[in-house]
Amino acid sequence: MGADRCTLRLLLVDDEHGYLEVLSKRLGKRGVEVTTASSGEAAIRLLRRNEFDAAVVDLKMEDMDGIEVLKVFKKMDPDMAVIILTGHGSEQAARDGMRQGAHDYLTKPCELSELLDKIQQACKWSERSDNDTEK
């Protein structure tokens, strides 16, 4: 799996439907191919059937929290970069996510440019991991 500079494949996971829709459209206008999931279980089903360069996962969701989703993702695709997105007050949990293998974390609200930079960095990291594995 590797990131194409023109079409980064992103799995965006958040249970706030409005946020998911707006963010998906804004990232799509910037050349990111976004697939959305409004729950952790839906995201896991999507990852079983598709390949992604990176995932952005909300920390607090109703069915599963972002750390649980991260752990499943890392078992399914260890080289896929996962960015944890969290609201204020749960940065410690996001840091705990880093210890569980998250590539990075951001706090909500975040600037689109910052999120896009993190996604691009994550995809480059993921690409490097793929190349290291192939050697």
pLDDT at 134: 57
pLDDT at 86: 86
* Domain 8-127 grouped into CATH 3.40.50.2300: yes
Mean pLDDT by 10 residues, the chain (135 residues): 64 95 95 96 97 94 91 94 82 80 89 93 77 59
Distance, CA of 44 to CA of 103 (rounded, Å): 18
Distance, CA of 123 to CA of 81 (rounded, Å): 7
3-state secondary structure of 11: strand
Domain layout of the chain by residue ranges: 8-127
pLDDT at 110: 87
pLDDT at 88: 62
**Segment holding 63, helix H or strand E:** none
pLDDT at 93: 78
Token pair for 25 = 């459209």
Distance, CA of 116 to CA of 114 (rounded, Å): 5
pLDDT at 87: 79
Question: What separation in angstroms does the CA of 12 have from each of 49, 80, 112?
Answer: 15, 13, 14
Q: What are phi and psi of 53, to 5 degrees?
A: -80, -30
pLDDT at 133: 57
